[in-house]
Amino acid sequence: MSAYIAPVREIKFMLAEAGLDTIAALPGFEEATPDLVDSILEEAAKIAEETMAPMNRSGDIQGARLEDGVVHSPDGWPEAWNVLVDGGWIGLPFAPDHGGMGLPNLLNTAVHEMWQSANMAFALNATLVQGAAHALELFGSDAQKAEYLPKLVSGEWCGTMNITEPQAGSDMAAIRSRAVPEGDHYRISGQKIFISYGDHEMSENIVHLVLARTPDAPPGLKGLSLFVVLKVLEDGTRNDVHCVSLEHKLGIRGASTAVLSYGDNGGAVGTLVGELNRGVEYMFAMMNHARQAVGLQGLSIAERAYQQARSYARERVQGKPVGCSGPMPIVHHPDVRRMLMGMKARIEAMRGLIYTAAAAIDVAHAHTDEAARAKAHQLVELLTPMVKGWCTETGQSVASIGVQVHGGMGYIEETGAAQHLRDARITTIYEGTTAIQANDLLHRKVLRDGGRAISELLDDVMLSAEAMRTGSDASLRVVGGALKDAAGQASHVVAWLLAAAPNDARQPSAGAVPFLELMGIIVGGHCLAKSARAAATAQSELAEADPFLTAKPILARFYAEHVLPQTLALGAAIMFGGASVMALDEAQL
C-alpha cells in the first residue's frame, strides 16, 4: 500500500472557494484566523500521514477482536487515539463552554477528510464521538451537558448511536428495545446490532445514545425515546450493557462493529434525553451529522484510492503505449489516463459539494440574519442526501477504478488497492442506504415543497453555466455549455416528477436513485466548474504558469465531456423507465 500524502493545497483552495474567510467573520468563529487555520491543517495532515496511515493496512489485517468478553482494537490504535485526545482534536467544532475550540464545521470537515483518507476505520470513531456530543449539545439537559459534554468533547470518553435491531433493520418503527422507568432513571433492555465502536478499550467510558420505547408509548416511530446509557456507571461498576459478538466484515475491519445486549442482568441504567417519544427527532440530528460524515468518507476513500492508482501507474512499465517508441509506465496509455482523469475529476467535484454543504451548516448555525440562516438551512437539507448518497456511490466507483488501474495486481491484497474498495463498500449502506437518501431527496426535498428549493438551486447552476458559456476561456465555454444542458435536463425531470407523483407514486420512486445520481453529477459539476473559473482567474494574474491552477479548467472540461453527458441518459431513465421497473411479476424476478 502506497503512502498517503494529504492534499493540503487542494483542501486550502476548496476552503477558500467554500467561503471560509466569510464564515470566520461570523459570531463564534473569531478564532479561525488564517494563521490558525494553516497550522491546524498542517498538523492534521501530519497526524494523518505519520500516525493514522501507517496503521491502515495492519489494522485491516489484524482487525478488532473479542476475547473473554473484552474488545481489543488493533495494535497501536489506543495510542493513536491518545494523540487526538492530547491535542484536543475532537473538540475542534464545539463551543469553548464545553471545552471545544469554537472553530467552523467547514474546517473540521477538512481535517476529517485527511483522517478518513489515511485510515477510515480508525477515524470513524472520531466522527461518532462528535456526533454524540452534537446530539447532547442540542437536546441534552443542563445536567447531561455538564456531565457528558466535557468528556466527549475532550475525547476522554467515546460515543455511539444505537438504532438498529435484528428484526428492524432500517425500519425504526419496528424497534422493540424497552425502557422501564425506575425512580430518576430507566432500565433499558434489548439488543442492538451493527453498533460501530460499540465496545473497545480506546477510552475509559462510552456514552451510548439508545433508541427504546417505554411501556405506555404509542406504537411506531412516535413511541421511541432517546436515552443515555454509559458503559461504566459513575461509581465505577459496569452497566448492564455488554458486547456479545463482533461482526466479521468485508471492510473497515479494524473498527469494532458490535452486537450489544442490554439488560441481561436486570436492565441497563439510562437517563432520558429531552422529552418522551421524541427520540427519532433527536436521533436524526446525530444521523444527519453522520450522513455528512459518511459522504465525506466517500470522498476520502476515493482520494486514497486515486493516490495509490496514480503512484502505481507512474511506476508500472508494461507495453508500448500508442504514440510512444518503446515500453513506458502505464500512465502513458490513453485508457489509463482516462481512468485517472475520471477519478481526479470526480474527487474534486465531490470535494466541492461536501465543502459547500459544510459551509452552509456553519451559516445556518451562526449567521446573524434570520433569512440567511433559513436559506442556508434549506441548502443543507437539499444537499445532505446528495452528499451521503452520490458521494458514497462515486467513492465506491472510484475505488473500483483504482483496482482496475492496477490490473491483476489490484486484485491481490498485498497492493492495498482492494482494501480501499472493501472499505468503501459500507458507505453506501450505513446511515441510510442510497435508496433511503434518494427517497429523502425525492419525496421530502422535491415533492413536498413543489420543487421550489431544487428549482432555486438549478437556477443558480444555470446562471453560472451561462456566464461560463459566454466567457473568453475556451475550456470554460465547453464546461458552461455542458452544465447548462445538464441543468436544463434536470429541470425537465423535476417538472415530470411533480406531474407524475400524484398519479402513480411508484414510477417516480423507481427513478429516485437515478435522480439522486443526476443531481449529484450536476451539483458536483457546478462546484468543479466554479473552482476551475477561480483557478483561471488566479492564473491570469500570474506571470508564469502554475500547474496546480492550469490543471483545473482542463479537469472541468474532462468532467463536462465525460461525466455531465450521463445526465441525459439518467433523465430518460427517470421519465420513461419507471413502468418497466415494476413490470415483472414477483415470481418472474
* 275 is known as an active-site residue: no
* Closest CA relative to residue 422, chosen from 248, 247, 251, 196: 251
C-beta of residue 82 within 8 angstroms of C-beta of residue 129: no
CA 11 from chain centre, in angstroms, equals 16
* Closest CA relative to residue 333, chosen from 357, 312, 355: 312
Q: How far apart are CA 535 and CA 541, in angstroms?
A: 10
The C-alpha angle 87, 83, 204, rounded to 5 degrees, equals 100
Query: Is the Cα torsion angle 490, 495, 501, 504 positive or negative in sign?
Result: negative
Q: How far apart are CA 218 and CA 101, in angstroms?
A: 41
Q: How far apart are CA 574 and CA 572, in angstroms?
A: 5
Which stretches of 48-201 are DSSP H helices? 56-62, 77-86, 105-118, 120-139, 142-154
Q: Which three cell numbers stand for residue 313?
A: 501507474
Q: How far apart are CA 426 and CA 501, in angstroms?
A: 31
- Contacts of 292 by beta carbon, 8 Å cutoff, 6+ apart: 109, 354, 357, 358, 361, 384, 387, 388
Question: Which one is catalytic: 431, 456, 541, 544?
Answer: 431
Phi/psi at 153 (5° precision)? -65, -35
Q: Catalytic positions, please?
A: 431
